[in-house]
Amino acid sequence: MLYAISDYLLDIAHNAVQAGAGLVELTIRDDNRQFEVKIHDTGCGMDSAEIERAKDPFANDRSKHPERSVGLGIPFLIQVLEQTGGSWQIDSRKGIGTTVDFAFMRDHVDTPPEGNLIDAIAQALSFDGDFEMVVHRVRGRRDLQRLHEPDECEYTVRRSELSRALGELQSAGSRALLRRYITSQEESLVDCEEDEKWQR
C-alpha cells in the first residue's frame, strides 16, 4: 500500500520506464493550494480497454510485476484522489505514449503527506534502462486576493546530463551524489521563495 504522494509519483514513473519509454517527462508543481504531478512517456501506450484494466485493482500485468496478485498503483491513487477532492486524468495512445496527471488538494484533512520527494526524484532518475528522463520542478504561491498567476520558482534536471557528470547512476556513491544534487536544487527553491517574499 502507498502512503505518500511521492510514493504514487515513483510508482507511476516506474510504470512509464517499464512501458519501454525512450523519454519520460516528470513535472512536479506545488503551491499553497495543491500538489500536482504530470508524467508523460513515449512508451507503448494503451488503448481504451487497457486504460480501463489499468484502473482496475483486480487486473494485473504479471510481466511487469510478477510478485503482485493485483496492481494497486493507479487504482489506489484514483481512490485516494476521489476521497480527498483531488483530480486525475489518463491520456494514452497505443504505440505513442501515456500521460498521467493528478493533483492533491492541500486543504483536505485526508490528503496524504508529501513524503520524501528528494529520494523519490533521485530514485526515479536512477531506474535501470536506456531512457531519458526530464524532471521539471515548480513551486509557487497563489495570491487568493488577486487574480494573477502565482509567483514561481523552478529547476529542471535531465538524466542524460547527470549520467555524463556521474558516469552512471546505479552505484551507492553515485546515488548519494545524485541525492545531494537534488537536495541542493530543492534548497534553491526555498531561497527563491524567500527572495520573492522580500520583493513583494
Taking the domains of the chain in order of start, what are their residue ranges? 5-199
> Phi and psi dihedrals of 162, rounded to 5?
-65, -40
* Neighbour-count burial of 48, counting CB atoms closer than 10 A to its CB (0-12 exposed, 13-18 middle, 19+ buried): exposed
pLDDT tens track for 13-53: 999 999 999 999 999 999 889 999 999 999 999 999 999 99
The residue count for the chain: 200
Instruction: Read off the amino acid at residue 79.
Output: Q
pLDDT tens track for 62-118: 444 444 433 458 999 999 999 999 999 999 999 999 999 999 999 999 999 999 999
* Cell numbers at 119, concatenated: 529520494
Q: Helices 172-199 and 159-166 sit at what angle, rounded to 10 degrees?
A: 130
Residue 167's SS3 state is coil
d(Cα 42, Cα 24) in Å, to the nearest integer?
7
* Cell numbers at 191, concatenated: 531561497
5-199 under CATH 2.40.128, yes or no: no
Q: Which of 42-51, 133-142, 167-176 has the highest mean pLDDT?
A: 42-51
- pLDDT class for 194, splitting at 50, 70, 90? confident
| Sheet strands (E) in the chain | 23-30, 34-41, 87-93, 97-105, 132-141, 151-158
